[in-house]
Structure 1
Amino acid sequence: MKKLRLKVKSSFINKYKSGYPLISSDSVHKLPAMEEGTVLELVDERNQFLGRGYYGVQNKGRGWILTKNPQVEIDQSLFENKISNAAEQRKNLFAAEDTTAFRLFNGEGDGVGGMTIDYYDGFYCISWYSEGIYRYKDMIVQALLKIVDVRGIYEKKRFASKGTYIEDDDFVTGERAQFPIIVKENGIHYPVYLNEGAMVGVFLDQRHVRKTIRDKYAAGRTVLNTFSYTGAFSAAAALGGAIKTTSVDLANRSKSKTIEMFSVNGIDHEPQDIIVEDVFNYFKYAVRKQLKFDMVILDPPSFARSKKHTFSAAKDYTALLEEAITITEKGGIIVASSNCSTFNMKKFKGFIKKAFEQTGDQYKIVEEFSLPEDFKTIKEYPEGDYLKVVFIKKA
C-alpha cells in the first residue's frame, strides 16, 4: 500500500497521544487526494511519530489509527494479533452452551476501526464500513482463518457512495451455510440469514436486554413491541410468560420474519398480534381504541422515513416517548432504547424526563444497559459506546 505522512494540528496532538483513533479532515493540516487504503503516518509539528493507520472514507471520518508503535507495520501479523486478542477476550462466549452468536471483533474497540466481525455458530460475517479497510480484506480474511475455527465467511459491504449497502453475493470463503442458521442466545433461538442484505435478522447488541425482558419483566404482561423488525423482543417476552405480544413494524417482511421467530422458539404465533403498519399511526389507533399495554418496547432506528413521517432519534425521541407513555398502564414498564451515537446516556435521560413532564406522569428508572462486553469500546472514543437502554416504570 502507498504511504503518506500527515501533520496533525496542534489542538489534536494530545488527543492522539492519549489514544484517540479516528482520523478526521479537521485534525490534520492538509488532506490531499489519495487512494482509499493508503497507509497514513500521523506526526506532530516536530515530525514526531503519533500513529499509523489507513485512509478510508466513512460517515465518521477519514480513516483510523491502528497502531501507536512506529515499529509496527499494517500487515497480516497486525491483523492476526488484533483478532487473536479479540478471540481470547471472548473465550467465555465461545464456550457458552446456551449462546452461539456474538460479536467477535468490534471495530476501534478491538483496535481496527471501520470493520466488525460477528460470529454465528461457526460462520463469520465481516462488515466493511469503508473502501479503505476493504483494501485489506485478503489479509483480514487470512488472519481470521488462522486464528479461529471457521466453517464459512460472509461479508457486508456498507460503503457505497450514497452510504447505502452494496448488494452482491456476500459469500467469501469456506462452506456455504444452509439458511436460516438457527443460533442461540441465552437459550433463545434466532433465525439468521447472512445472504439477505445488510440486516441479518437479530441485533446482537441487545443480548442482555432480551434476557432481562424474558427473565424479569414479561411474565403476566401484555407487551407492545414497536419497530419490531423480526420480533426478537416479542419472542423473548413470550418465552418469559407474556400474556400476549403485539409486534408493529412498517416493513412488509416483518410479518413473515416474526412468525418464523416465534416458530423456531416453539411459540404458536396465532394468539400473538403481528401488525404491518407505521408505528406512529399505530399509536394514534391505540389511543382512539383506548388500548393499554403493561410493557411497551421502543427501539427505533436512529433515522427512519415513511410516507408520512420522518423520524430522527436526536430530535424526535421525546415525542415518541410521550406517545408510548399514553398507552402504558400505570405500573407498566417502558423499555426505551436508542442506538444513535450523537447523544449520550445523560442526554437520553433528559429526553425521558422531558417526555414525562409533558404527559404529567411520574416515573422511576429501574434498570439501564449499554453495550454488552463483546461490543468492546475504548474510553478515548466515547462515540463508539452508542447503545442506551432504560427500563422505566410508570408510577
Structure 2
Amino acid sequence: MKKNVRLKVKPSYVKGLKTGFPLITEDAVQNISNVKEEGTIIELFDEKNVFLGKGYYGKQNKGRGWVLTQNSQELIDQEFFEKKIKKAINHRQDLFNNYETTAFRVFNGEGDGIGGLTIDHYNGYYVLTWYSEGIYSFKDEVIASLKELVKVKGIYEKKRFAVKGKYIDDDDFVEGEQAPSPLIVRENGIHFAVYLNDGAMVGVFLDQRDVRKTIRDQYAKGKTVLNTFSYTGAFSVAAALGGALKTTSVDLANRSRSKTQEQFSVNGLDYEDHDIIVEDVFNYFKYAVRKELSFDLVILDPPSFARSKKHTFSAGKDYPDLLAQAIQITERNGVIVASSNCSTFGMKKFKEMIASAFKQTGGTYNILEEFKLPQDFKTHKEFKEGNYLKVVFIEKLS
C-alpha cells in the first residue's frame, strides 16, 4: 500500500495547478523535502485546504513528481493505470492497424496522463521507459495493465534515473519472448534495424517519422543529401529510398558507420553508393567549405547538448551559428531541414534563430513547411516543454 502525504502548494503556483499544469516542482510545494520515499502518493492543497490534485513523488530533472488526477476520490491503482493506457491505445488504433508502420509510441508521458512513463511498440514488443524511481514503483501495475489490453510478445524497459548516483545498465529484458537482435521494424514502408536490449537508444528516433516520410516522398529525388549528426542514418536511408543521387552521413560516434551501413542493407540499398563519415560535424563543415562542397538537401538535427574534444554545443545558444555553417554549403534553391528537440524554446524562438542565421550569412530564405511531434507523441496543452520537437524545411533563395 502506497503512503499518502498531504502537501500545501505555495499561493503563486495554485493557479497553474488549477488549470492543469501537471509537473510538481520543488519550488511549488511547501516542505516537499520532507517526502523521502519515491512513489509516495502526494495530495496537493492550497492555503485554504482546497484540494488541487493528486499524483506521485519522483525526482525527474527539476521535477519532483507529477499530478495524475484532479479528482480527490480517484485512486492511483491498477484500475487507474489500465484506464489511462487503454485510452492511449485507442488513440493509436490507426497505427496498430497500419501494416506499413510497426514502430510507434503507444504512451507518451504527461500527454497521455502519466508523467514520467513512455511506452513504445516495436513489431509486437514493448519498451517501457521509466524516468524516475517514483514511477518505477508502479511497474507491476503498468505491466499488468498493458498485458491486459494488448497482445504482447515481449517487454523491455529503460531506466532513465540514477540509483544512489549511478545509472543501472543491467539487462533491459523484462518478460515474455526475447526479440531478435536486430529486430526489423517498418515505418511507412522503410525498414529499420533496432536493438531493444542495447542501452537507452534502440537505433531510431520515432518522433521524426513524418519528417522522414516527407523527405523520401517530396524532397529527395535527384538530390545530393548531407545528413549531419546522422546517428544510424535513418534520414539518409529515407532520402536514398526517395531517389537521392547520393547521401553523405556524418556523425562523431564510431559505431555510426556500421549502424548506418546496416540500415542501408536492411532496405536493399548498397551502402557503398553513399558516403558514411565518422567525424565531428563542426570539423566536417570546415572541410566542406575548404573543398567547396555543396548539397541540394542538408539535414541538421543536432542533440540539445553535445560535447566533443574541441567543441561544446548547446542548442539554445549555438543553433544559429551551426545553421549559418549549414547555409554556406547548401546550394542556391536547396533545402535545409532544420530540426531541434530542445525543450527550452518553442517554434517562435526557433524561427528567430533561423532568421538570425540567414542574417549572419547575408542570405534570403523561404519557409516551405513545418513539423512538430507526430500524433502518437501526444502532448499536454499546459506543459509546453513536452511539445519539444521543431522541424522547419527552409529553401535557401540566396
Q: TM-score, length-normalised on structure 1? A: 0.99
Alpha-carbon shift at residue 60 of structure 1 (Å)? 3.7
Q: Which residue of 1 aligns with 2:168?
A: 166
User: Does the residue aligned with 2:81 lie in a helix, a strand or coil?
Assistant: helix
Shift of the 136–347 alpha-carbon distance from structure 1 to 2, 3 Å rule, reads same
Supply the AA of the counterpart residue of 2:369.
Answer: E
Alpha-carbon shift at residue 166 of structure 1 (Å)? 2.7
Q: Which residue of 1 aligns with 2:117?
A: 115
Q: Which residue of 2 aligns with 1:394?
A: 396
User: Once the two structures are superposed, what CA deviation does each residue of 1:99-153 show, in whole Å capped at 9, x if it has no partner?
Assistant: 0010000000000000100000000000011011111111111111111110000
Structure 1 unaligned regions, length at least 5: none
Residue number among 190, 201, 204 corresponding to 1:202 in the alignment? 204
1:219-230 aligned at under 5 Å gives the runs 219-230=221-232
Q: Distance in 1 between matches of 2:76 and 2:254?
A: 44
Q: Which residue of 2 aligns with 1:5?
A: 6
Is contact 2:157-2:173 (8 Å) kept?
Answer: yes
User: Once the two structures are superposed, what CA deviation does each residue of 1:224-281 show, in whole Å capped at 9, x if it has no partner?
Assistant: 0000000000000000000000000000000000000000001110010000000000
Q: Which residue of 2 aligns with 1:179?
A: 181
Alignment length (residue pairs)? 395
Residue number among 276, 280, 283 corresponding to 2:282 in the alignment? 280
Supply the AA of the counterpart residue of 2:374.
Answer: P
Q: TM-score, length-normalised on structure 2? A: 0.98
Residue number among 291, 294, 301 corresponding to 1:292 in the alignment? 294
Shift of the 242–321 alpha-carbon distance from structure 1 to 2, 3 Å rule, reads same
Supply the AA of the counterpart residue of 1:24.
Answer: T
Q: Distance in 1 between matches of 2:169 and 2:84?
A: 28
Q: Which residue of 2 aligns with 1:59?
A: 61
Q: Which moved more, 1:319-328 or 1:56-65?
A: 56-65
User: Once the two structures are superposed, what CA deviation does each residue of 1:348-388 show, in whole Å capped at 9, x if it has no partner?
Assistant: 00000000000001100001000000000011111110000
Q: Which moved more, 1:354-363 or 1:39-48?
A: 39-48
1:235-314 aligned at under 5 Å gives the runs 235-314=237-316
Alpha-carbon shift at residue 179 of structure 1 (Å)? 1.2
Q: Does 1:29 align with 2:30?
A: yes
Is contact 2:129-2:160 (8 Å) kept?
Answer: yes
Superposition misfits of 4+ residues, deviation over 4 angstroms: 161-165
User: Does the residue aligned with 2:271 lie in a helix, a strand or coil?
Assistant: coil
Q: Which moved more, 1:128-137 or 1:158-167?
A: 158-167
Between the aligned residues of both structures, percent identity stands at 69
Alpha-carbon shift at residue 161 of structure 1 (Å)? 5.5
Shift of the 272–344 alpha-carbon distance from structure 1 to 2, 3 Å rule, reads same
Is contact 1:332-1:394 (8 Å) kept?
Answer: yes
Is contact 1:322-1:358 (8 Å) kept?
Answer: yes
Q: Does 1:320 align with 2:326?
A: no
User: Once the two structures are superposed, what CA deviation does each residue of 1:29-76 show, in whole Å capped at 9, x if it has no partner?
Assistant: 221241111110001112121111000001141000111111111111
Q: Distance in 1 between matches of 2:127 and 2:167?
A: 15
Is contact 1:165-1:198 (8 Å) kept?
Answer: no
Q: Distance in 2 between matches of 1:238 and 1:224?
A: 11
Is contact 2:24-2:63 (8 Å) kept?
Answer: yes
Is contact 1:158-1:164 (8 Å) kept?
Answer: no
Structure 2 unaligned regions, length at least 5: none
Q: Distance in 1 between matches of 2:363 and 2:75?
A: 58
Q: Which moved more, 1:370-379 or 1:155-164?
A: 155-164
Is contact 2:26-2:62 (8 Å) kept?
Answer: no
Shift of the 112–176 alpha-carbon distance from structure 1 to 2, 3 Å rule, reads same
Q: Distance in 2 between matches of 1:226 and 1:306?
A: 15
User: Does the residue aligned with 1:393 lie in a helix, a strand or coil?
Assistant: strand
Q: Which residue of 1 aligns with 2:332?
A: 330
User: Does the residue aligned with 1:336 lie in a helix, a strand or coil?
Assistant: strand
User: Does the residue aligned with 1:156 lie in a helix, a strand or coil?
Assistant: strand
